[in-house]
Amino acid sequence: MELVTLVRLEGVAKHVLLPDDTRLDILRGIDLAVAAGDHVAIVGRSGSGKSTLLNLMGMLDRPSEGAVWFRGEPVRKMRRGRLDRLRGRNVGFVFQQFNLLAGRTALENVEMPLGYATGREFWRRRRTATEMLERVGLGHRIESTPEQMSGGEQQRVAIARALVRRPALILADEPTGALDVETGATVMELLDDIASEADAALVTITHDLHVAARARRHFRLDTGVLTPFDLEGAPTPSAADSSAPELAASVAEPDAEAEASVDRAPRQDEAEPAEVAS
């Protein structure tokens, strides 16, 4: 039997109006399908729209044009409550800055998503969170707060929190961006291993070609356009390595003027699409 694609984007575009009434096109005509067990890397420079694309895949945002489908159902037709439950059950987010709750222990941080569970999963939440922390090698740090942990330990807590409900889709936004190279490699290996064990889809957005090379499929996002890029069998160069000049150019940092144009706050005069009953 043919497997149903987990998440699919068809003709997805995202744009906002800037204060000077010009339109900023963040994403244009994105087509992408990700199945269970897939590992996809999306590479692009800062301001290329990578995080916006990840938010659309994770159903945190809605496209200006096009459609997002999850397990064969159009997201735009889902009511807000159902969409929130679907996301909480099926999508795990790993962020560059960890986003852990300050003053809360590692156990409390990992246990947090299980507070929205029901039945047996809810009542076993402390045990489940403890087991996940042990899985990422932090069984001895369950009572430690983020302030007492290293960057690598905090990222492992963030991974445990993202995976504690065993989501079908893991979205990692620059997961090694705040880590040194060696720690980042260890974190990515852990993320790969856990995703493989659960047969979960893993989508990583990054500007680091070493991180991208770990994936099975590779894409480049440049000026809002997503295109496939073949890294199979190629070396894993740094962004400045001439052995991959085309891809390196896409991840080079933009100049200050270009960065400022992307960072300008959008004007909220484009309403989100109305909720449609399923």
Which CATH number do you get for residue 20?
3.40.50.300
Residue 272: closest CA among 61, 28, 90, 20: 61
- Please write the tens of the pLDDT for every residue from 158-196: 999 999 989 999 999 999 888 888 888 888 998 998 888
Question: Does pLDDT of 248 surpass 60?
Answer: no
Residue 233 falls within a domain, yes or no? yes
- Please write the tens of the pLDDT for every residue from 207-223: 888 889 999 999 999 98
Residue 259 falls within a domain, yes or no? yes
Residue 156 falls within a domain, yes or no? no
* Amino acid 178: pLDDT: 84
How many structural domains compose the chain?
1
| Greatest mean pLDDT range, 47-56, 235-244, 260-269 | 47-56
d(CA 156, CA 64) in angstroms, rounded, equals 34
- Please write the tens of the pLDDT for every residue from 74-94: 999 999 999 998 998 899 999
- Confidence grade of residue 3 (pLDDT, cut at 50, 70, 90): low
Burial string for 99-114 (b: 16+ CB within 10 Å, else e) reads ebeeeebbbbbbbbbb
- Please write the tens of the pLDDT for every residue from 18-41: 999 899 999 999 999 999 999 999
207 lies in which domain range?
A: 7-99+168-263
Residue 149 falls within a domain, yes or no? no
Element (H, E) at 189: helix 181-198
| Greatest mean pLDDT range, 55-69, 79-93, 207-221, 236-250 | 55-69
Residue 206 falls within a domain, yes or no? yes
Residue 139 falls within a domain, yes or no? no
Comparing 25-39, 96-110, 234-248, the range with the smallest average pLDDT is: 234-248
Residue 131 falls within a domain, yes or no? no
- Please write the tens of the pLDDT for every residue from 127-168: 999 999 998 999 999 999 999 999 999 999 999 999 998 999
- The 3-class SS string of 36-102 reads CCCEEEEECCCCCCHHHHHHHHCCCCCCCEEEEEECCEEHHHCCHHHHHHHHHHHEEEEECCCCCCC
